Amino acid sequence: MDLGFTEQQELLKNAARDFLENECPEQLVRDMEEDERGYSPELWSKMAEQGWQGLLIPEEYGGVGFDFLDFCVLLEEFGRALVPGPFMSSVLGGAVPLLVAGSEEQKQEFLPSIASGDLIFTLAQTEPSARFDEQGIEAAATVDGNEVTISGTKLFVPDANVADYMVVAARSDNGVTLAIVATDQPGVTVNQLLTIARDKQCEVILDGARGQLLGEDGGGWESLQPVMQRYAVAECAYLVGLAQMDFEISVDYAKERVQFGRPIGSFQAIQHKCADMVTDVDGSRFIMYKAAWSINTDQEDTQMAVNMAKAWTSEATRRVVAHGQQIHGGIGFTKDYKIQLYYRRQKRAELAWGDTDHHRELVADQLGI
């Protein structure tokens, strides 16, 4: 037992923090809200030079071969810096499904390019029903050997506007089936949604779109399980970093802002909010890392650990950013002040891959209540 970071994790965390403070300043985050693509190709290639897109990819496929706990350490820093762009989409929605279900040939073909940042992937799973379960997948797939043809609408697909390929979940005669689908083809139409976090979630209309089979025909739902587990925990890691920063900004503000002749942070009404914030941030951090550790070491109760982490973190970080807004008073409501950037992005990650209600329900199921 030990809840401290390894030396390698410390190094990764410090390197990431230094890098992102320089390369991903607040202005870039703001610029990307208005940007059509939603990411900076320059930052994207610098991140690839750091080896980040390939962090989870084994060395034999051009990656760095770190483990999932290390990856969450990095994502915590991404949340802190609010890094915009298709990083999670490409790694968790592309590399991970390929590692789980890809043939040797597919891994050779795609993984080195994902690691180098040359290819961007995303995962097209959810549909207008907005469900995360198997029933939510209704898009129709026809499988012919290794070729899959898909028709249907995918919704809330992150970064489809810049993705070269999508891993699409659709339903064939044999059940849920995954396919690797190039976005640049006549059968694919991508429409951006305007979202609360100004990230790039899209409607993807597939009309006879063609792709290659990923994994078994009908084996898609099983393949998606480890993907969804990792994605949910990754969103938790992002939320922990985001909430930590929101909390730090708020505490600093409470020390500086003077009303009634004293810093507002000297009032217990504010102090107790801050105490609750740090409790929620820390509580989220450990339950998230416990889930990451469970995935890493393939524990028997990994699914439960993941559900508990996303259930707790979604709500706890929401409380943190709400306190952050309240502590800031009127200034926090302005577009110019930075705290609002965290508030809006918290909601995106809270909802991604299931919010508290969704995961709590799964916890209750597993407890047999």
Partner 1 sequence: MDWGDSAEQASFRAQVRGFVGERLPDFYRELDANRSGLDGGWQAHRASDDPEESGAARDWARALAENGWVAPNWPVEYGGAGLSVWEQFIFKQEMAEAGAPAVGGQGVTQIGPTVIVHGNEQQKEKYLTGILEGDTAWCQGYSEPGAGSDLASLQTRARRDGDEYVINGQKIWTSNAHNADNMYILVRTDPDAPKHRGISLIIIDDIHEAGVQVRPLVDMTFNHHFNETFFEDVRAPVSNRLGEENRGWYVGMTLLDFERSNIDSAILDRTLVEELIEYIGSDEGAVCARTGDLPTLRAEVADRYIECDVARNFGMRIASMQASGVVPNYEASTGKMFGTETHQRVMRTGTKTLGLYGNVWGKDSAYAPMRSQFTHGYVRSIPSTIAGGSSEIQRNIIATRGLGLPRG
360 binds partner 1 (CB under 8 A): yes
Smaller CB separation from partner 1, 77 or 217? 77
Smaller CB separation from partner 1, 35 or 282? 282
Q: How far is CA 281 from CA 193, 276, 313, 321, in A?
A: 30, 9, 8, 10
Binding residue (CB under 8 A) for partner 1 from 142, 192, 271, 325: 271
2 binds partner 1 (CB under 8 A): yes
| Mode of pairing for the β-strands spanning 175-182 and 201-214 | antiparallel
Smaller CB separation from partner 1, 232 or 251? 251
Token pair in block for residue 55: 């962090």
Binding residue (CB under 8 A) for partner 1 from 15, 130, 275, 331: 275
Q: Rounded to an integer, what distance in angstroms lies between the CA atom of residue 345 and that of residue 318?
A: 10
| Mode of pairing for the β-strands spanning 201-214 and 147-158 | antiparallel
Amino acid at 3: L
Residues 53-92 interacting with partner 1 (rule: CB under 8 A): 69
294 binds partner 1 (CB under 8 A): yes
With CB under 8 A as the contact rule, which of the stretches 30-38, 55-63, 157-165, 249-257 interacts with partner 1? 249-257
270 binds partner 1 (CB under 8 A): yes
Binding mask 298-327 for partner 1 (x = CB under 8 A): ----------x--xx---------------
Smaller CB separation from partner 1, 206 or 292? 292
Cβ atoms 184, 146 nearer than 8 A: no
Q: Rounded to an integer, what distance in angstroms lies between the CA atom of residue 82 and that of residue 338?
A: 11
Token pair in block for residue 212: 């290659």
Cα diameter, the chain: 75
With CB under 8 A as the contact rule, which of the stretches 1-9, 44-52, 101-109, 229-237 interacts with partner 1? 1-9
Binding residue (CB under 8 A) for partner 1 from 110, 289, 342, 343: 289
204 binds partner 1 (CB under 8 A): no
Helix, coil or strand: residue 330: helix
* Residues near partner 1 (CB under 8 A), total: 44
Cβ atoms 62, 111 nearer than 8 A: yes
Smaller CB separation from partner 1, 150 or 254? 254
Specify the DSSP element, H or E, that contains 154: strand 147-158
Cα 129–Cα 131–Cα 135 angle in degrees, nearest 5: 90
Least Å from the CB of residue 232 to partner 1? 14
1 binds partner 1 (CB under 8 A): yes
Q: Rounded to an integer, what distance in angstroms lies between the CA atom of residue 85 and that of residue 191?
A: 17
Rg (CA), the chain: 21
Binding residue (CB under 8 A) for partner 1 from 31, 59, 173, 361: 361
339 binds partner 1 (CB under 8 A): no
Q: Rounded to an integer, what distance in angstroms lies between the CA atom of residue 120 and that of residue 99?
A: 15
Least Å from the CB of residue 105 to partner 1? 36
CA-wise closest residue to 196 among 343, 6, 54: 343
Binding residue (CB under 8 A) for partner 1 from 26, 185, 286, 331: 286
List contacts with partner 1 (CB under 8 A). Answer: 1-6, 69, 251, 254-255, 262-263, 265-268, 270-272, 274-276, 278-279, 282-283, 286-287, 289-290, 293-294, 297, 308, 311-312, 357, 360-361, 363-364, 367-369
